Amino acid sequence: IFYEQGLGKTYTTINLACAWRMSNLIDAVVVFCPSSIKLVWSDELGTHSPLPTQVHTLTSGKYGAATKFIDNKTDFQWMIVGVEGMSQGNAADYVEKFCLGRRVLMVVDESSRIKTPNKIRTDKIISLGKLAKKRVILSGTSVTQGIEDLYTQYKFIDKNIIGYDSYYSFRAQYCVTMNMTVGYDDRGNEKTVQKIIGYKNEDELMRLIRPVTERVEKADALD
């Protein structure tokens, strides 16, 4: 769900989750979001959910409440998790326990937070996503900016959408790179890295992601 800011990504996701619950496709939800908006999600659920929900905001160091919430299994539980907690600590363990035995929708809000391959946070969330029945990413950023950022976001949803197991294979197909000097080592030898200087095969990539992507801009929705 790639809506520009202010067009209702959270509202849409809440109602989509409720529709899937009413269709008996899921019975619980995990939301990864920046810690600064965890309470926003809780408030929005209280305002917009057409179904009763049980909400727990996972807080570092207060895992006793999380354990009680997980063990006391009730209908349509929502666990709200700060995405920063996936870089360290035990939050991932509690998310895993919550997912086991439940049919979970897993949501990544501000999904650019998992755009970097081979980072602890990204790898953990992609791994946890395999435990979910359904997966959704939310972002206000255009899919035509930073094509390299799309790889791990869509890998979280389903690696078969784009079809590359390796980020470097993906980059070779869709990015134009150039070796650039970034300094020198202790022996005075140049250190080089591959920098992305452009893109290619963009129409092909957009065709692959289009069936599972909804993009709305303010110019299309507001007057």
Question: Among positive and negative, which fits the CA dihedral 115, 148, 158, 9?
Answer: positive
**pLDDT at residue 27 tops 70:** yes
Q: Which of 56, 57, 87, 51 is nearest to 72 (CA)?
A: 56
Q: Which of 134, 118, 145, 157 is nearest to 206 (CA)?
A: 145
Please report which residue ranges of the chain form alpha helices under DSSP H: 9-22, 38-48, 63-71, 91-99, 120-129, 150-157, 167-174, 202-209, 218-221
Q: Can you give the pLDDT at residue 76?
A: 97
DSSP state, 4?
Answer: P
Q: Can you give the pLDDT at residue 118?
A: 85
Q: Can you give the pLDDT at residue 206?
A: 95
Residue 4 to residues 106, 199, 216: CA-CA distances in angstroms? 21, 23, 6
DSSP state, 73?
Answer: -
Distance between CA atoms of 222 and 199, rounded to whole angstroms?
Answer: 31
Both structure tokens of 105: 């929708």
Between residues 88 and 176, which one has the greater pLDDT? 176
User: What does pLDDT average to over the chain?
Assistant: 93
Q: Which of 97, 99, 105 is nearest to 135 (CA)?
A: 105
**pLDDT at residue 97 tops 70:** yes
Q: Can you give the pLDDT at residue 144?
A: 67
Distance between CA atoms of 169 and 173, rounded to whole angstroms?
Answer: 6
26 CB-near residues (< 8 Å, 6+ apart): 17, 20, 103, 104, 105, 133, 134
In the chain, the amino acid numbered 98 is: F
Q: Can you give the pLDDT at residue 45?
A: 96
